[in-house]
Amino acid sequence: MKIFLDTASLKEIREAAALGLVDGVTTNPSLLAKESGEPEEILVEICKTVDGPISAEVVATDAEGMVREGHHWASLHKNIVVKCPCTAEGLKATRVLSSEGHRVNMTLVFSPSQALLTAKAGASFVSPFVGRLDDISTPGMELVADILQIYRNYSFRCEVLAASLRHPLHVVEAAKAGAHIGTMPMSVFQSLLKHPLTDIGLKRFLDDWEKAKKELGAKAPR
Ligand code: E4P
């Protein structure tokens, strides 16, 4: 599964990218609004930091406006993927943008039927929002599994980008379901690695090694 970071923070992206495990980045208007600086400059810097798909979302609500904004985002860097909301206008814009060769990430997807239309419109990525469904007592991961099944049935090439992942178990479940990509905030990315037994085990190995070295050192001839 490819790992995307769901943030517009360059500090976080640089830190995570240093591990060599970040395959792409998703941003949205809320995430960009949290950062200081011009969105265009931030997006270009992100593209320079991570060589993979970088989602930039349109804010127009009509298809024409979305296409215009999509052209603007796409002109910034070859890695930019235009993010459109899953509305009737968003589907129209996706058709236009994808037929021109631009990659589209359809966002705010909450049902299998929306995902079916997304693939038919030619989107390259579909973003089911797992956490936001869980928030309203609807099992978000079932949506990921349903979309994967539908896309497999018809060999759609649209990649399933599990989004709104809020904790490490969401990532594991998305991977078990076979999602192509999981996008997550930095805190979730960091929690994927953490295990107390790893820390305890490493400390014990190092302590034993130091102890043995001291004992050997004491016995060793001068
Ligand atoms: C994905 O592209 C979205 O930016 C994101 O995953 C939304 O997550 P949230 O529901 O935690 O805000």
pLDDT of residue 218: 63
pLDDT band at 220 (very low <50, low <70, confident <90, very high): low
Predicted confidence (pLDDT) at residue 219 exceeds the cutoff of 80: no
Interatomic CA distance for residues 6 and 27, integer angstroms: 6
Rounded to the nearest angstrom, the distance between the alpha carbon of 6 and the centre of ligand 1 is 7
What is the overall mean pLDDT for the chain?
97
**Residue 222: pLDDT band by 50, 70, 90 thresholds?**
low
Give tens-digit pLDDT for 143-179.
999 999 999 999 999 999 999 999 999 999 999 999 9
Q: How many CA atoms does the CB half-sphere of 154 hold within 13 Å?
A: 11
Place of tokens 């589907």: 91
Please compute the mean of the pLDDT values over residues 96-110 and round it to a whole number: 98
Q: Residue 21 corresponds to which amino acid?
A: L
**Res 217: pLDDT:** 78
2 is catalytic: no
User: Does residue 10 surpass a pLDDT of 80?
Assistant: yes
Cα 115 to its chain centre, rounded Å, is 17
Looking at the CA of residue 55, tell me the nearest atom of ligand 1. 2
Phi, psi (rounded to 5 degrees) for 108: 60, 50
Catalytic residue among 2, 11, 48, 83: 83
* Ligand 1 atom nearest 166 alpha carbon: 11
Counting residues of the chain whose pLDDT is more than 70, the rounded percentage is 98
CB atoms under 10 Å from CB of 13, counted, come to 22
Pocket test for ligand 1, best of 2, 6, 82 (most atoms within 8 A of CB): 6
pLDDT tier at 181, thresholds 50, 70, 90: very high
For atom 5 of ligand 1, which residue has the closest CA? 164
Q: Which residue has the tokens 């298809």?
A: 63
Query: Could you give phi then psi for residue 182, rounded to 5 degrees?
Result: -125, 130
pLDDT at 53 over 80: yes
